[in-house]
Amino acid sequence: VGDCSIDLEKIKKENCYDFRYHNTNINLINRFIGDIKKIFGLDLSVKVAKPIAGHLPRHYVRVPAIIGRLISILFPQVVNKNAVKIDIMFYPEFIGALFDDEGHCSKTEQKLFISNTNFSLLEDTKKMLFSLGISAILDKKQFKLYIRGKENLQKFLEKILIYSIEKKQRLIDNLSK
């Protein structure tokens, strides 16, 4: 959903399913590889993207076309970059994965945000958070979904599954102030 992509133009023009996941965080890449291994039994390898001056090194994984084709058929919302309609019991993991990938927790203010240019995804995430008792504000000018205030941050920490150790620790430190 976050840094995963399926090239719609290639699908339309060439019937080619170019499916990949890219990130600067190697732990998220390895988690993605583990998920694909669990679901499809495939071993994938990590590649390093061409360096860009002033940017962190980016890693990526290419997923075989057949898997991209299956995902696009089973989950068309993924191809259209919308939040997949999931059961409420999976909201904490979905939101946590999105935060691990696209989120940031402030060191100085009691706030965190998830940044993404897909407003439908952010709006769906806001509704998911609301159903979990967490208030959020969508700022379309900044492409961010904000969660502010100690009470909301505490609920986020308690209810959302955050795998990024650095982000979870920053949130805990923020709440300790």
- Site of tokens 């133009």: 9
In this prediction, residue 120 carries a pLDDT of 86
First to last CA, the chain: 33
pLDDT of residue 52: 86
Residue 32 has pLDDT above 80, yes or no: yes
Model pTM score: 0.73
Using a pLDDT cut of 90, give the percent of the chain over it: 45
Q: Is 48 exposed, middle or buried (0-12, 13-18, 19+ CB in 10 A)?
A: exposed
**pLDDT of amino acid 1:** 47
Average pLDDT over the chain reads 86
Q: What is the pLDDT of residue 84?
A: 58
Q: Residue 74's pLDDT is what?
A: 76
| Whole-angstrom distance, CA of residue 81 vs CA of residue 139 | 19
Helices (H) and strands (E) in the chain, counts: 8, 8
pLDDT at position 171, please?
96
pLDDT at 12: 72
pLDDT at residue 155 greater than cutoff 90: yes
CA atoms within 13 A of residue 141's CA, in its CB half-sphere: 0
Most confident segment among 25-29, 63-67, 141-145: 141-145
Residue 78 has pLDDT above 70, yes or no: no
Round to whole Å and give the CA distance between 12 and 111.
41
Model pLDDT, residue 81: 57
Residue 39 burial by CB count (10 A; 0-12/13-18/19+): exposed, middle or buried? exposed
Q: Over range 32-57, report the average pLDDT.
A: 89
